[in-house]
Amino acid sequence: MTKPAIGVRVRRAVVRTLFVVGGVVTLVCVLLPLACWRDDMAIERHLGQAVAQVDSVAFNRTVVRYATPDGRVIIPSQGVLYPAGLNVGDNVKVEYDQSNPELTRVAGRTAVLSLLPVGSFLLAVWAVIAAVVTVLRRFGTQV
């Protein structure tokens, strides 16, 4: 029995690596909406509501400021959950976990909003992996 050529072994290693990367990405994409859902449940268990002012909007975080009924001013360090469409200076209704006011979301928005972007990203990742694997398998013997 002869050993496969180096090119064949490299292609196999690349394919395996792509499947491992795809699996890890899939795991993260499944865990992300679950984490959002967990945060939503925590907020709903100890629901507090307020009107917040949007202080800054960036790619990775939207900072809001709101006051609780006891007079504390809260600025969640990680930003607000589900911030799409907010602009600096906007006043927006928020819901927060009264036992942990750092956990704040825009009122009326839930983890369902995470499904489309996560699903689209996952679909794109697997489409790229499938295309690369197909090219490696189809044209690998002709190199």
80-125 confidence digits (pLDDT tens): 999 999 999 999 999 999 999 999 999 999 999 999 999 999 999 9
Cα 58 to Cα 87: distance, rounded to the nearest angstrom: 10
Antiparallel, parallel or unpaired: β 47-57 and 62-67: antiparallel
Q: Is the pLDDT of residue 138 over 90?
A: no
Sign (positive/negative) of CA torsion 78, 83, 89, 94?
Answer: negative
What's the pTM? 0.78
Q: What angle do CA 84, 31, 36 make, to 5 degrees?
A: 40
Q: Which residues contact 125 (CB under 8 A, 6 or more apart)?
A: 22, 25, 26
Sheet of strand 100-106: strand arrangement: 73-74, 62-67, 47-57, 91-97, 100-106
Higher pLDDT pick, 50 / 142: 50
52-92 confidence digits (pLDDT tens): 999 999 988 999 999 999 999 999 999 999 999 999 999 99
Structural domains of the chain in order of their starting residue, each with its CATH number: 6-142 (2.40.50.100)
Q: Is the pLDDT of residue 1 over 60?
A: no
Cα 30 to Cα 143: distance, rounded to the nearest angstrom: 38
